[in-house]
């Protein structure tokens, strides 16, 4: 008579129910291991999310700059290039269309201008930036009054708080400059926006004008450069390569002689490496806990094999195949680990949320425990793997018993 695998599974589950205390004790190691893994991974994901949020605020780390080389080295002397590339708004839009992925972009050119605010007063020197309308969001510059200009606007200007205070002749109410007319190098501009003040006491008088309108309003204008930010650390290298491909297609194989592409690649690699090391370290620590739980399961199953040797002999004498006995003990092992994993996940999540709360209270940092489907899938997969791995030896030992010797066993 052949015993089916389903019947062997039923026998294994009944054996677990017949020894609840032993089942509970063997499950305890898995519970602690899974709880440790879930709590550490959840806290780790939360800390990583917090760190990424802080990194993304540092635009120079995620930023990729494409700038024209305006000088050339001739016999050790840097001389101005007559063929220096002057990027335009159309170039920025073309590059952004090539770079795949969600990203922020900006374009800037710098210069200066004299502003005559009063015929009786000395002219004031304003720093000027020609920018795209996206610059204010890119640089996270909040508005006190008004709004950003459109890229196609002309004769408009956005002032920083200090410059607006000078124009309004009231540093305590810079928003009163909104709508005023300011003349830069003989060209009139209407104030359409005023930025909020910064905490930097050294802030200069600064004006922002549309990049296409910059040439007529400032002196000493530098060649415009295009800046865009990757959405994540891992995307920086890919987006840089896509930008270089765009430059090669537009300016030929020797584009590097005329254009420079810059990133903080060294710092990007340091951050990415640091995150990977952190994950591997946390995985190793929690992996040891699960390993201990797996060893506990193997010991309990070996003891069960020794105690139930006579039962195994009787089952084999009645027609049970080696495969049936193997399934019986593997099912016991997987059941123990699955049951322990379910309890461990709940316990681990509780520990993770409690730890995150303590971290927020102690550090004031907005750290939250992050529960991701990946964490649950990893834990579930490892639990089944632990059950199969550490249950295999006791199961094979039980399956290999001789029916006659097993029945004689006392």
Residues 220 and 304 in one domain: no
Residues 216 and 274 in one domain: no
Segment 251-255 mean pLDDT = 86
Does residue 360 belong to any structural domain of this protein? yes
Terminal CA-to-CA distance of the chain, rounded, Å? 26
9 three-class SS: helix
Does residue 69 belong to any structural domain of this protein? no
Residues 216 and 276 in one domain: no
Q: How many helices (H) and strands (E) in the chain?
A: 12, 12
More confident call, 147 vs 365 = 147
Alpha helical stretches, state H, 318-372: 322-363
Among 93-97, 194-198, 275-279, which range has the highest average pLDDT? 194-198
Does residue 47 belong to any structural domain of this protein? yes
Write down the pLDDT at residue 2: 41
Residues 178 and 294 in one domain: no
Residues 131 and 50 in one domain: no
Segment 259-273 mean pLDDT = 76
Does residue 100 belong to any structural domain of this protein? no
Does residue 298 belong to any structural domain of this protein? yes
Residues 279 and 396 in one domain: yes
- Here the tokens at position 402 are 């001789």
Using CA atoms, how far apart are residues 374 and 352, in angstroms rounded to an integer?
A: 16
Using CA atoms, how far apart are residues 128 and 143, in angstroms rounded to an integer?
A: 18
Segment 222-227 mean pLDDT = 83
Residues 275 and 398 in one domain: yes
Does residue 67 belong to any structural domain of this protein? no
Among 59-63, 74-78, 340-344, which range has the highest average pLDDT? 340-344
- Here the tokens at position 332 are 């016991």
Segment 44-64 mean pLDDT = 73
- Here the tokens at position 124 are 């004031």
Residues 114 and 25 in one domain: no
Does residue 39 belong to any structural domain of this protein? yes
Residues 373 and 317 in one domain: yes
User: Is pLDDT of 57 > 70?
Assistant: no
**Of the given ranges (34-43, 51-60, 164-173, 261-270), which has the lowest mean pLDDT?**
51-60
Residues 219 and 312 in one domain: no
Residues 288 and 401 in one domain: yes
Using pLDDT thresholds of 50, 70 and 90, give the confidence band for residue 402. low
For residue 131, what are the β-bridge partners? 108, 210
Range of the structural domain that residue 186 is part of: 108-226
Write down the pLDDT at residue 3: 44
Using CA atoms, how far apart are residues 268 and 238, in angstroms rounded to an integer?
A: 12
For residue 106, what are the β-bridge partners? 227
pLDDT tens for each residue of 95-140: 888 886 667 778 888 889 888 887 777 888 899 999 988 889 888 8
- Here the tokens at position 58 are 């540092």
Does residue 64 belong to any structural domain of this protein? no
pLDDT tens for each residue of 116-125: 887 777 888 8
97 three-class SS: helix
Judge whether 12 and 335 are in contact, CB under 8 Å. yes
Distance from chain centroid for Cα 51:
8
User: Is pLDDT of 1 > 50?
Assistant: no
Number of domains in the chain: 2
Alpha helical stretches, state H, 224-321: 236-251, 265-307, 309-317
Residues 276 and 402 in one domain: yes
Question: Of the candidates 172, 199, 226, which is a domain's last residue?
Answer: 226
Question: Of the candidates 226, 256, 284, which is a domain's last residue?
Answer: 226
- Here the tokens at position 161 are 């708080």
Segment 89-97 mean pLDDT = 85
Angle at 311 between CA 306 and CA 313, to 5 degrees: 90
User: Is pLDDT of 180 > 90?
Assistant: yes
Write down the pLDDT at residue 29: 75
Alpha helical stretches, state H, 197-235: none
């Amino acid at each position: 008579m052949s015993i089916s695998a389903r019947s062997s599974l039923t026998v294994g589950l009944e054996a677990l129910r017949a020894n609840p205390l032993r089942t509970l004790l063997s499950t305890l190691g898995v519970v602690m291991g899974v709880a440790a893994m879930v709590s550490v991974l959840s806290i780790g994901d939360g800390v990583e999310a917090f760190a990424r949020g802080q990194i993304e605020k540092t635009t120079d780390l995620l930023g990729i700059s494409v700038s024209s080389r305006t000088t050339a080295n001739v016999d050790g002397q840097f001389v101005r290039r007559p063929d220096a590339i002057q990027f335009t708004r159309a170039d920025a839009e073309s590059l952004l269309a090539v770079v795949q992925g969600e990203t922020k972009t900006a374009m800037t050119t710098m210069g200066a201008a004299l502003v005559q605010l009063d015929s009786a007063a000395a002219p004031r020197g304003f720093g000027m930036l020609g920018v795209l309308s996206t610059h204010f969001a890119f640089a996270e510059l909040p508005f006190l009054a008004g709004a950003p200009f459109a890229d196609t606007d002309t004769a408009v200007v956005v002032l920083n708080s200090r410059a607006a205070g000078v124009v309004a002749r009231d540093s305590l109410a810079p928003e009163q400059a909104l709508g005023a007319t300011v003349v830069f190098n003989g060209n009139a501009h209407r104030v359409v926006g005023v930025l909020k003040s910064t905490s930097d006491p050294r802030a200069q008088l600064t004006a922002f004008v549309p990049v296409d309108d910059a040439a007529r309003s400032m002196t000493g204008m530098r060649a415009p450069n295009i800046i865009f930010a990757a959405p994540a650390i891992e995307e920086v290298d890919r987006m840089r390569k896509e930008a270089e491909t765009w430059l090669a297609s537009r300016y030929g194989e020797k584009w590097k002689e005329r254009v420079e592409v810059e990133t903080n690649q060294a710092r990007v690699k340091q951050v990415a490496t640091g995150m990977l090391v952190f994950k591997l370290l946390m995985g190793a620590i929690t992996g040891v806990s699960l390993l201990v739980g797996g060893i506990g399961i193997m010991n309990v199953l070996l003891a069960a094999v020794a105690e139930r040797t006579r039962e195994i002999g009787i089952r084999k004498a009645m027609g049970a195949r080696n495969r049936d006995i193997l399934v019986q003990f593997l099912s016991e092992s997987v059941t123990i680990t699955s049951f322990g994993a379910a309890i461990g996940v709940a316990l681990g999540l509780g520990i993770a949320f409690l730890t995150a709360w303590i971290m927020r209270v102690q550090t004031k940092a907005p750290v939250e425990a992050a529960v991701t489907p990946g964490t649950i899938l990893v834990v579930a997969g490892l639990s089944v793997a632990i059950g199969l791995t550490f249950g295999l030896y006791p199961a094979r030992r039980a399956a290999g018993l001789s029916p006659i010797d097993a029945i004689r066993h006392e």
